[in-house]
Each structure stands twice: as C-alpha cells, then as structure tokens.
Amino acid sequence: MVHITKARLAAGLLAALFLVSTPAAVNATSDWTGDTKLRAGAPLVIGHRGASGYRPEHTLASYELAARMGADFIEPDLVSTKDGVLVVRHENEIGGTTDVAKHAEFADRKKTKTIDGAPLTGWFTEDFTLAELKTLRAVERLPQIRGRNTLYDGRYQIPTFQEVLDLRGKLSRELHREIGVYPETKHPTYFKGIGLDLNPKLVAALTAGGLNRPGAPVFVQSFEVGNLKSLKHQVAVPLIQLIDATGAPADFVAAGDKRTYDDLVKPDGLKEIAGYASGIGPAGTRIIPVDGSGNQTTATTLVADAHKARLKVHPWTVRNENNFLPVNLRTSADVTAYGKVWTLLDQFFKQGVDGVFSDNPDTAVAARQEFLDNN
C-alpha cells in the first residue's frame, strides 16, 4: 500500500491547483536537477532507450532496469500508431526492433516510404493500430554486438507512452526518488503531415499525469526546431534541442531553410535556441571530436559556449562497447568487448556537461560518483 505523506498530499494539491489556474502558454522557469542526495548541479544520468545495453531497447524491462541502476531519467522516443496513440520506438519503422517480419498476417503492410527525405522499406507504426502492435514482441536491435540481450527477444511488448509514465510513477514511489522522463518526438514534421501530430498527444499525456509544470522531472527533446518552438507555448517543462553530428533539422530541410546543425552550435545559433529551449543535446563528437581515423582530437568550446548562452548540455550517446567508442578508447579489435568508456565519461564530466545519455546507466552512475568524489 502506498503511504501518502501530508507533504506529498499538499504538493499534489498544489500541482492540481497549478493545472487548473495556469494558462496554456507558459515558459519553463525551473529545471529538475536530479537526485537531491547528489551535489547540486551534478550531471544527470539519462538511461538511453532505458538500459539498452542490457535489454531490448524501449521496453518496460529496459526502462525499469535503467531506473533500478540509478538513472535519473528514462528516455522514451515517441512515434504514433494508426489510431493516434503514442508508442515508444526509436523510429516508426519497426522491422529491426520487433518480430513483425515473422507475422504472416502483416506481410502486406511492408512498404517503401520516404521519411525525412530518405527512402525506407519496412513496417511502420502508423500503419498499425495499437491493438495490432500489441501482438508484436520486441527484439534486440544489435544482436551481433549485444548477443546476450537476445535472451530477452520475444518477451516484451511495444509500450505506450502512458505505460512508460505509469512505470515512472510506480518506480518513483518504490525507489523513493523521482524518476524523470525525457521523451523525444521522432519525425514530428512527417507525423504531422500524415495527420498524426505528436505534440498534442504528448502535451495531453504530460498534463494528465501532473507533469506539465515547472520543476517536473521532465525534459522534452527533438532534432527538429519548429515543433520545439511550438511546444514552448504548450508545456511548462524544459525543452532540449538535439544537435546531430552532421546534417540539418528535417523541418529546416523540408522548408528550404539552408541552416544546418553546424550553424546551430555557433554563438548566434545557440542564442536562438536559448529563445525556446533550456538546453542542447549534442552528439558527443560535437564536444570531443574525432579525426578521420576515429581518434579523439581537441575538445571544442561547445560546452562553455552553450553555458554562456544559459543552455544546459546533455551529450549522447555513451555506450560501453568498443564498437561505439573513439578508436583511442578501444581496448581491442573485439567490437563487443567493453572499452575505456570510463575515460570518455570522465572527459565529458570534466568538460562540465549537465548530463549524459548512456545505454549503460550503471556505468555512468558509477563514473559520475567517482568524478564527484574526486572533484
């Protein structure tokens, strides 16, 4: 039985009052800063697609493990079903992360589509109702690298966003700390174009869950710009502009806007981002680049530049295996073996990042503790 303290009851009443009295257009004024047992300003650990180094990504098992490993946030990527329900997948094409190809009844759903300007063949969430998607089971995306995770193939459903929020609440109560949620809208321009706008559903879910308020343990992220600018007027939680290693936001490309991610990390770009977002989520190589051979070179000034623009910095994605590490941090030619990921985490923490996305939250939590103990 859940014990509700007077303080928690009062906080709940205040939150309810806020929801009733606050207009839709509100700005994020305070960011949730993580476990109060940690030093103020300690970098956050964001469980990337849950604890996807150990379980098939974007499953409730992956999110639960991330929370139990100490992650401050769990990270669901959001796409839509045919009947307009938000479900969590890294992309709307689900051939690589589910057993859909084995379902003969869905063979005729295989299609070739153009997503964000690129042709893609497979099965797409927007062609399935939620009931149909629930008959599928998740599988490990990277069986060649994460063979052990295939132990869990076929065991977990595709979760809805609501199920992730419910899990977040349950684990927060059980673990006696707020587990944050860090949703990313995937392909928002594409989904809006087919009549399945992600943003209203996201806003509704956060609001219904009492999470659309300043100080809620939530960040909302996107690689696109327009939908974040729109969300700024609809949510009271901080927004994070994702910055890819190369290329340009898909909505810029669609609108003929020639600016790229390279432009967004220049001082003028950061200043513009600060007008609608609270931080950036750059590819890690935007902070510590690699040369043509894959070896790390000198760190950029991005963290300092972003902080100067009053933006938080949450780089992605730290993964333990050699396959994903810079060449100089690999321990062998075995791509499945763990490399010197501790060094990479330490480098990011020393750069002053405000959080890291990691597929291995236990490692990131341990490295953070060591960093905090020594600095």
Minimum distance from residue 292 beta carbon to Ca ion (Å): 27
Minimum distance from residue 139 beta carbon to ligand G3P (Å): 17
The Cα–Cα gap between 73 and 299 comes to 26
For the window 268-307, what string marks contact with ligand G3P as x by the rule CB under 6 A?
A: -------------x--------------------------
Cβ proximity to ligand G3P, 283 vs 290, nearer residue: 283
Q: Choose from ligand G3P, Ca ion, none: what does 224 bind? Cβ within 5-8 Å by kind.
A: none
For the window 194-233, what string marks contact with ligand G3P as x by the rule CB under 6 A?
A: ---------------------------x------------
Q: Choose from ligand G3P, Ca ion, none: what does 251 bind? Cβ within 5-8 Å by kind.
A: none
The Cα–Cα gap between 294 and 323 comes to 11
Cβ proximity to ligand G3P, 185 vs 322, nearer residue: 185
Closest CA to 79 of 130, 136, 142: 130
Residue 197 in contact with Ca ion, rule: CB under 5 A: no
**Three-class secondary structure of residue 21 per DSSP:** helix
Return the residues of window 35-94 that contact ligand G3P according to CB under 6 A. Answer: 48, 77, 90
Alpha helices of the chain — where are they, by DSSP H?
Answer: 6-21, 60-68, 130-133, 161-175, 188-193, 198-208, 226-231, 250-255, 261-264, 267-273, 302-308, 341-351, 361-374
Indicate the burial class of 222 (C-beta count within 10 angstroms; 0-12, 13-18, 19 or more): buried
Return the residues of window 228-247 that contact ligand G3P according to CB under 6 A. Answer: 242
Altogether, the residues listed in the chain come to a count of: 375
- Whether 90 and 357 have beta carbons less than 8 Å apart is answered as no
What is the amino acid identity at position 233?
H
What is the amino acid identity at position 294?
G
For the window 138-177, what string marks contact with Ca ion as x by the rule CB under 5 A?
A: ----------------------------------------
Minimum distance from residue 183 beta carbon to ligand G3P (Å): 9
Q: Choose from ligand G3P, Ca ion, none: what does 242 bind? Cβ within 5-8 Å by kind.
A: ligand G3P
